[in-house]
Amino acid sequence: MNKKLICTLMAGTLLVGTVTGCGSSSEGDSSAKGTELELFSSKAENKDILQKLVDKFNETHEDVTIKITAPADAGTVLKTRMAKNDMPDIVAMGGDNNYTEVESAGMLVDLSNENYISNIQESYLQMVYDVNKDKEEKVYGVPYATNASGVIYNVDKFKEYGIEIPKTWDEFIDVLEKLQDAGEQPLLMTYKDAWTSNCPWNSIASDLAPESFNDDRKAGKTTFVGTHEEISEKYLKLLDYAQDDFMGLTYDDGNKAFSNGEAAMIINGNWAVNQYKNANTDINVDMFAFPASNDESQNYVTSGVDVLLGVCKDSANEEVAKEFVSFMLEPENAKMYIDDQFAFSAVKGVEQENETVAGVKEDIAAGKVANFPDHYYPSGFDMSALLTEMCLNYTNGMDNEENINQFLAQCDEKYDIANVD
């Protein structure tokens, strides 16, 4: 009897499990009670502000429910869902190689003929075209918010030592030396989270790499070896000014340490600024373009499309989804978004006025921006793993020249493996 009971219970639970399993998966398709849409965001940081905007949208669209999904490791999740043919209705994602994967699989609707496109800054539209398959000049993703990466500095410390904002590489090194001599920690690095090792690389490479490098590399006409030596040298030079345990410090802990004034500078992006503010409301920070070159005109602000909006094909509610995208791009709403995120807007005339990023505002408005080089690398190419490996070799005391040669050879090798269409 007992055994029977147990068997029945087990079979019962299993059956219930499968039945409820089916139930939840078909829920998305039913549109009986109003329209339900899913907005997939690849940035966990913007979930709150998106929710606010969705609520605002709902004031005028009462019958529409928009559910926001913002999982960790969103790029992978989205690709997995693409494999299952279970796409959301609207995507809000970076203009990077994850976007290319989604776009080239033909998952997004062409929005080129929508009214709001004429109100978007051309430089950012161009960045999205550049990551489209075959560089097709069609708007499958509308640039929404943009970011800026460079050197974030503690304003009070710069004042204390009377330091001017460095405009060239030599000036930058002087500043680092001066801070070190004064007993300050010049640079804080958080390479335990490998993605942060990309930040200095992106800034240096966007200033110094040959202009057509990304196209030529893709076509196999050039290599990292022979073009990226100076970039790697400067990258390693920075490590001389980093704290001792730079390979063991996480992004979160590093942000807290920086907010508490434990270092003068950190190389990261505007997305990190509200983390500092959260940890210490009194911190005074600003940002300047990374001066990788001694030719001032070459020192761009690294800026890319941080969030673009796309409408998925085969969405049952394409019209509502389009309406939502258009709502998001209204200047008032775009402003609300960038104010919350310390970001910049791709919508013309919507400016970021916050002083924490004032140092790069002019360059951005003037279009002195260069996109993140890693947005152009193939998606299987894990630059941060290669960079942290080079840094690990550095901490083990390997000779810089040998280290760089090995690193660049690895770059080419791994790039070729990943560069398949």
Pairing outcome for strands 369-370 and 301-302? parallel
- Cα diameter, the chain: 86
Q: Mapping DSSP to helix (H, G, I), strand (E, B) and coil, where does residue 391 land?
A: helix
Site for other proteins in 325-384 (CB under 8 A): 379-380, 382
Which of 99, 140, 169, 191 is the binder for other proteins (CB under 8 A)? 191
CA trace torsion 249, 376, 286, 144 (10° rounding): -120
Q: Is 33 in the site for other proteins (CB under 8 A)?
A: no
Part in contact with other proteins (CB under 8 A); list of ranges 70-78, 288-296, 303-311, 352-360: 70-78
- Rounded to a whole number of angstroms, the minimum distance from the CB of residue 11 to other proteins is 5
Closer Cβ to other proteins, 225 or 398, answer by number: 398
**Within 13 A of 215's CA, how many CA atoms are on the CB side?**
7
Q: Is 192 in the site for other proteins (CB under 8 A)?
A: yes
Closer Cβ to other proteins, 4 or 33, answer by number: 4
Q: Is 13 in the site for other proteins (CB under 8 A)?
A: no
Q: Is 20 in the site for other proteins (CB under 8 A)?
A: no
Q: Is 22 in the site for other proteins (CB under 8 A)?
A: no
Sheet holding 344-345, edge to edge: 64-69, 35-41, 90-93, 305-311, 142-146, 344-345
Place of tokens 């299952």: 84
Q: 209 and 227 in contact (C-beta within 8 Å)?
A: yes
Q: Which tokens belong to 391?
A: 């840094």
Q: In the stretch 194-223, what mask flags binding to other proteins with x, by CB under 8 A?
A: x-----------------------------
Site for other proteins in 131-160 (CB under 8 A): none
CA distances from 46 to 131, 274, 382 (A): 23, 11, 25
Closer Cβ to other proteins, 126 or 250, answer by number: 250
Q: 63 and 12 in contact (C-beta within 8 Å)?
A: no
- Rounded to a whole number of angstroms, the minimum distance from the CB of residue 10 to other proteins is 8
Task: List beta partners, residue 285.
Answer: 154
H/E stretch holding 217 reads: helix 213-219
- Rounded to a whole number of angstroms, the minimum distance from the CB of residue 57 to other proteins is 30
Which DSSP string corresponds to 237-268? Answer: HHHTTB-TTTTT--HHHHHHHHHTTS-SEEEE
Part in contact with other proteins (CB under 8 A); list of ranges 7-15, 23-31, 131-139, 275-283: 7-15
CA 319 to chain centre: 28
Which of 2, 26, 297, 396 is the binder for other proteins (CB under 8 A)? 396
DSSP 325: H
Question: CA 72, CA 69: separation in Å to the nearest integer?
Answer: 10
Which of 59, 62, 164, 244 is the binder for other proteins (CB under 8 A)? 244
**Buried/exposed 164-188: b ≥16 CB within 10 Å, e otherwise:** ebbebbebbbebbeebeeeebbbbb
- Rounded to a whole number of angstroms, the minimum distance from the CB of residue 312 to other proteins is 13
Part in contact with other proteins (CB under 8 A); list of ranges 22-30, 68-76, 153-161, 294-302: 68-76
Site for other proteins in 85-104 (CB under 8 A): 85, 101
Closer Cβ to other proteins, 30 or 396, answer by number: 396
Q: Is 114 in the site for other proteins (CB under 8 A)?
A: no
Q: Is 168 in the site for other proteins (CB under 8 A)?
A: no
Part in contact with other proteins (CB under 8 A); list of ranges 199-207, 238-246, 259-267, 347-355: 238-246
* Identity of residue 280: N
Which residues would be at the binding site for other proteins (CB under 8 A)? Answer: 4, 7-8, 10-11, 14-15, 18, 73, 75-76, 79-80, 82-83, 85, 101, 105, 191-192, 194, 244-250, 253, 379-380, 382, 385-386, 388-392, 395-396, 417-418
